[in-house]
Amino acid sequence: MASSRSPDQPTALAEGRRIYLGNLLHIVQPVEIEEMLKDNSFAEYEKIHISMDPVTARNPGYCFVDFLDRADAERALSSLDTSIRGRPLKVGPCEPKKQQASRWKSDKEPIFNRWGNWSGQRVHVGEDSKDKGVPIGKIDKRGIEHGPYGAIEHFDDVAATDTDGRRLYIGGLAKMIDQQHNQNEMREILAGFNPIAISKRITPRESTRSLRGNQHYCFADFATVEEAATAMKAIDGKLWSNERLRVNIARPLPDKLKDRTRPRDEKDSPTRDNAVWNEGHTRNNASPAGERSSWRKPNTNESSNNTKPSQPLRSLSSGNWRQRE
């Protein structure tokens, strides 16, 4: 008998083995989700399906977990009631997602595909471990690995060398419609160049939103300092959507950003609000084809004072990270 499953629909979703985890702080790393599952007696899972931004090492606020069998998925739906870094998780089933037509749809491969599978923490080459068999994600013709492993590796590399000038700040952009629109527009702006990764479009600080002109911006990473310098010279001041682009070598990453993206004990990490990323573009970070979710409210006896977010995370909207003078 022919299967009724869409060719784009993941097998785990069709078989009821995939669940949704939401309300994640954007700074939560895949290994923390992995550890949370193990700590809650769900060590036997197939994979975590998650999107990680290679420029910021941030997730979109949610992910999916595929279990080996449906019984474990149903057990997680009924009993998983926990938090990561002090923020309660939202747990829910996945449902087939209705595909929506978009005028920004492109048949071109993304510069960096953020979505991918996480199936365990990798060990460094040379370490004696039985866990070396973590699958490699998609490798493009440039030799760059996509997905969460590639994103984290890229971020760590940039964090260690980000004073060398391979990252550009590109300002003067209008508010994006969705992530595909951002990718298409940045591909046009950077035509003739070969960036390794482009960040999501970032909403300006509240203090600059009232200024004239387009105040949104993003970052682009290049393989070499020379290519970044050539791209900056070519597009700085370029007229785009009736605005002049402002392109500079990005300032070094703030230590706060580096620290917050490192996995840590929950007791040492205060709850942070996702407000900076919720506005303007996290809601446009499309989930993989064929799925959506309906989450359940976690059962918790904690008071609202214990779960109320503190002040918004401001590291990515800080002027100290935007550009060099």
pLDDT tens, position by position, 174-232: 988 888 888 899 999 999 999 999 998 988 877 676 677 789 999 999 999 999 999 99
CB 249 within 8 A of CB 168: yes
**Residue written as tokens 């600080």?**
205
In the chain, the amino acid numbered 157 is: D
What's the mean pLDDT when you consider all of the chain?
A: 76
| DSSP H helical ranges for 22-177 | 30-39, 70-79, 147-161
Q: Round to whole Å and give the CA distance between 46 and 74.
A: 15
Top CATH class, 162-259: alpha beta
- Domain residue spans of the chain: 11-96+113-119+135-155, 162-259
Same fold for the domain at 11-96+113-119+135-155 and the one at 162-259?
yes
Which of residues 30 and 94 earns the better pLDDT score? 30
Domain 11-96+113-119+135-155: give its CATH superfamily: RRM (RNA recognition motif) domain (3.30.70.330)
pLDDT (average), residues 25-52:
95
CB atoms within 10 A of CB 173: 23
Under the banding of pLDDT at 50, 70 and 90, the label for residue 34 is: very high
